[in-house]
Amino acid sequence: MNVENAGNTEPSFVSLPLAAELIVTIIGTGLIGGSLGLVLKDKGLAKHVIAVDNNPENQQKALELGIADEVLPLKEAIAKSHLIVLAVPVDALHTLLPAVLDKVKNQVVMDMGSTKASVIDAVVNHAKRKRYVATHPMWGTEYSGPEAAVKTAFVNKATVICDAENSDEDAMQMVQEIYRAIGMHLIYMDSAAHDLHAAYVSHISHITSFALANTVLEKEKEDDAIFELASAGFESTVRLAKSNPAMWVPIFRQNRENVLDVLNEHITQLRKFKSCLEKENYDYLQELIENANGIRRILK
């Protein structure tokens, strides 16, 4: 893994001859794609932003909210653009990415999906593979749709670029500079490593939140009690349970083996806590909690 130092200065597009005239198509105008559209417009990083979305309501919202300047069909949008961004659920990427690469000439294509290995495998032998840059900006919320888009979404966050050696230098340069210009720092790793690490730091958090929400809904039958008694700690832990299943089921499916590995370890840890209480072994319970406190070294 190679981590780029995050800087406080905002780089310009001086090395990109297309910068002043950059036309960007964003396919998928939900939380991630919508936020990218907003920041590109807000910072003047693109001359023109085109939205492609199968949902007519999302199309209209993208225009009303200033996410895009116009909405076009896929083929027409690709032909008009310098950069095509795929911000759709990961299961859709497997068919959409090859279809987009089929239509490009020299344009740059990037995705923003949460899993990488299977998506990259779908185009590993494609003639235009080198025009594609595989990325995953490490940001998101429990909300979805164009209305959830935030123009400050990516500031001081990390984005992962996978298998960079398999992309053309100019394609990589364009994507890198856009991410830097919207305030992100870059991490480079291979796709298999990305999927493993994402399972541990992102995917398991969502599963835990979904499971906790189901536990509470199953055992606590009084809605008013949940509402009145829920502390800030509970709310922050279960917040992710509000996330869109249309996004997360495909992620879990595509990253199944890594997620299962993480789940097995998580279940082992839960059993340790359960055993401590069953056996009234409070010394070991304290040890488990003190060990968990070690996360302070990383997350302050």
Check residue 219 and give its pLDDT. 73
Kindly report the number of other CB atoms within 10 A of residue 71's CB atom: 17
183 and 49 within one domain: yes
Q: With contact defined as beta carbons under 8 Å apart, do 38 and 217 qualify?
A: no
Rounded to an integer, what distance in angstroms lies between the CA atom of residue 294 and that of residue 300? 11
Q: Among residues 137, 154, 189, which one ends one of the domains?
A: 189
Q: Among residues 154, 174, 189, which one ends one of the domains?
A: 189
209 and 176 within one domain: no
Rounded to an integer, what distance in angstroms lies between the CA atom of residue 37 and that of residue 30? 10
Rounded to an integer, what distance in angstroms lies between the CA atom of residue 48 and that of residue 26? 11
Report, as ranges of residue numbers, the positions in the chain whose pLDDT lies below 50. 6-17
184 and 201 within one domain: no
Check residue 149 and give its pLDDT. 92
pTM of the model: 0.82
* Tokens representing residue 187 in the block: 């991490």
Rounded to an integer, what distance in angstroms lies between the CA atom of residue 46 and that of residue 42? 9
156 and 121 within one domain: yes
Amino acid at 64: E
Q: Among residues 150, 169, 189, which one ends one of the domains?
A: 189
pLDDT tens-place string over residues 93-145: 999 999 999 999 999 999 999 999 999 999 999 999 999 999 999 987 777 88
CATH of the domain at 238: 1.10.3660.10
Check residue 182 and give its pLDDT. 94
Check residue 10 and give its pLDDT. 37
Check residue 7 and give its pLDDT. 41
Tokens 């992309």 correspond to what residue?
167
82 and 211 within one domain: no
Q: How many domains does the chain have?
A: 2
Task: Label the pairing between strands 48-52 and 23-27.
Answer: parallel
pLDDT tens-place string over residues 148-181: 999 999 999 999 999 999 999 999 999 999 999 9
Q: Which residues share a beta bridge with 70?
A: 50
> Residue 20 contacts by C-beta under 8 Å, 6 or more apart in sequence?
13, 47
